[in-house]
Structure formats: structure tokens, C-alpha cells
Amino acid sequence: MALFTKKHKISSRRIHEGSIINLRIDQLRLEDGNTTTREVIEHPGGVVVICQPKPDQVVLIKQYRYSLDRELIELPAGRIDNGEEPIEAAKRELIEETGYQAKKWQSKGVFATAPGFCNELLHLFLASDVAVVERQLDDDEEIEVITLPIKQAWALATSGEMIDTKTIAALALILQEQA
């Protein structure tokens, strides 16, 4: 099995620059001397927030996702703005999407969303000791806030009603820690 590192890159060509993602095509040299192509989506990274108003509850959102043409149930999440620290993005996104503000924040790690073709990393945070403040939705967001017992949220994942992988992974992590 060949390991691909920057030293194996022959060339790189960006074919799209967008407001959310960029797309590039890289030519790589394999260990055996052959070449291959990789298409890479460049993403600035994001945050995911497990907001717990009470230790056995979790705040979820329901929103329409155009790329899938359906509503999804997810944890609050969002993109990290240029120059923004992940914790600041998490605090901003939680208020924007849910109207909750937390006093306690704990990092729960970083994970890759789709490492086969995308460099996006998501920073997971646990938010507790929360208070309700005014929500600050972006102009294009229509979000319903849902607060459920964690076990009920997990039931949505195991039934197939919840399909968002970042949410499923984060809920599994928290449930494992609480076990």
C-alpha cells in the first residue's frame, strides 16, 4: 500500500474557487512509479456543537438541505470563518442557529468528514450551563430547534430518521462517555 504525502505530488491545479469550497485536481506519483489523479475538495473546516441544557438532553435542529432535497435533523454546526478560532465559531453558530449561549465549553476532538475526497475537519464541542438568548439566523437559514432526551435523539439515528453523520458520530461519543 502506497502512502501519499506531499513529496509524491507532481502537480496541482485548482479548477474551482467558490465561497464555501474550492476544487483541485492533483497528479501523484505512486511508490511503484506509476501516476494517479486525485480530486480534492478544499474546505475551511467547521464546528459541531453538542448543546446540553440538562445532562440528559441535547439540542438538535431541523433544516432543509438543498444538496439532498430534504429536511435533516442535525446538531448545530457551521463553517469556521477565515481567521476565526474553532471555539469562537462554535459559540457563534450555537447562538445563530439555536438561541442558546453556553458558559461551559469542552473540546471533544476533531474528525474528518469525507477524507477520500475532502480536507474538511470538524471540531466537536460540548456546550453546557446554557441560557436562552436571541437567535441570530443567517438570511438564508430556516431552522427549527428541537430539544430531546439524548436517548430519544439516538433512537432517531438507529431508526434511520436521522442520517447526518456528524450528528450520529457526536451522539455516539457522548452516549459512550455517559455509559
Lateral strand order in the sheet of 35-42: 9-17, 22-29, 35-42
CA distances from 54 to 47, 58, 130, 148 (A): 21, 8, 9, 10
Q: Which of 17, 74, 142, 144 does the annotation list as catalytic?
A: 142
Answer yes or no: are the C-beta atoms of 106 and 119 closer than 8 Å. no
C-alpha gyration radius of the chain:
19
**For residues 26-47, b (16+ Cβ closer than 10 Å) or e, as one string?**
bebeeeeeeeeeeebbebbbbb
| Three-state secondary-structure class, residue 53 | coil
Q: Burial of 171 by CB count in 10 Å (0-12 exposed, 13-18 middle, 19+ buried)? A: buried
Please indicate whether residue 88 is annotated as part of the active site.
no
Q: What is the dihedral of CA 40, 65, 52, 175, to 10 degrees?
A: -60
Indicate which residues carry an active-site annotation: 142
